[in-house]
Structure 1
């Protein structure tokens, strides 16, 4: 922010320079005009002295003419190069007032029409936050500056949930839905915030949100987990087991949340049996974790082999054909690894709620990025859309500039 104000001050000084330089030039011209007037007065005084000496007989007529010609030459030499008199003056008060008003009016107009708050916020966001509270405050300012930013609203709602502020989170998720649409993942987050804000009391609104989310995406993880929690709290242990089993089969084998989720299922089974009930195996209970995976052979085009470096980063990823732009599964390699065969699966997901098995059709891509940026590089290879459960080996050749 300091750099911005220094630059603004420099521009103001330049503007004042354009205003004051003509005034200073006029004062210089006035000084030259005054000096010319003095030279003329001295000339006239000299001519009068010469005429008086000629009258007294000190000078002859020829000497008088010669002396007057010499005085005239001296006057011309003293006034040579003097600018003509210009009868236009600003005076002393007007320039001073204008010089004062220019920065004052510029500052007032910028504070009214400008975006100093966004400039300051951009500078602040360039520095990593030192605490969760500071991060939340920054997100609040982002939302205030960009109220239609769905991404800013969503992350602010998540920040409120991490600070145990579910009521604030529910309010923000509702705004996000109005801006970004009623995405299943968003509806699940909204329902969860409402549930905890109400002291773990179920309501018709929460039920409607989870129903809508699961209708659009039967594998929506937040809604499944929330319904399981509600069923467990309500001592509907079989329902809790069913919901959590549906959630469990979606988690990769190495997912850290599998163990606590399985613990909840086991506890629900124990309480159901202790109450005299009988555990009923759901249709999803016997399913193994999702094993959707696509094998792809990645190679480098012949024309590019002389242009790349061995340490350049290679990203191999799958993206939903009709869905969010964020990759569903990603592998990070280097050019030195090519050619290589990799498998993209749910275990390679960037987010637990966006997985390869959640979308019926995907597109495979491979990108070379010298800067190590997954979203932008120098060259790319793209595959045709295909089913996410494809088992046949796929091939990608990186041979196209990444424009």
Structure 2
């Protein structure tokens, strides 16, 4: 109730600020006073011109008479209007003041209360900060949870796990400087790791609005020194090279990163896009988990007859085709399937695989180029086989 009383008082003060100027009677200077001021200026100017000789005496006298006549006419008009004008003006001013008072004192508060009743939560109980800090944890209130962890770290400054938990939360809350400091504390207490250095570097990049600073670059270099395959650090070091104007270094770093990035990695399209931005060529992607002959298959094939080996190969090709029917966004798999059909002499199946792959990658110019190259290679091999 005290909060609503404060709001009511603030509303009353705002209305009073609007109505106070309207309640004061101000004597505005009318048109008559303005005309008299102009005529006086004209008389003074005529006197100056007559004294200096620029205006003959006869003309000066005639001008003074004309200005005096206009002044008398203005006085007469003012006297005629003075009888009815004050009452009419007073009535108009009174009506305007009443309308403004009704609007400010009634309409605005009623409208605000109705809007709050519809969109607000008038029955929601208060939640003072002190009570929220002492109440049971509410996982939806991230700010309170962060505050509690901060208080815990103030009492236990060597709790590295607390800093490591708090750092990514800071980053999601839009506090990258605090996140970088928390990661630095975690490294100091828990020791170095590629993920911690890389995460600290990313926080520093976010804090500098996307610029890879020298401190951030050192953090990424430290991460790669611990794990040469840490992808985030390689990406940002390539970005640092691009920002420094070293496009060739950026292309080399991103090309190496792309070469060891699995085809199904979620960040692979982003790396391919930045590599294309600096004019680099995308290398072939390693295919994780693609069906192919293992050591046992090779050993078994050595003891098989030709027909048995063909059956085994066709079974592997069939498994690859089946996988691509459910996971079509694997350009490497399609290229392997086309080549396999070419080796087996199934030109129709190879052509059908090329058609399906082109439909899948119709918006990917790089993939379409590789499919065209595979088709030409297939045509050359098929032609050579037919001639032999």
- Tell me the TM-score normalised to structure 1 length: 0.34
TM-score of the two chains, using structure 2 as the length reference: 0.35
Larger Rg: 2
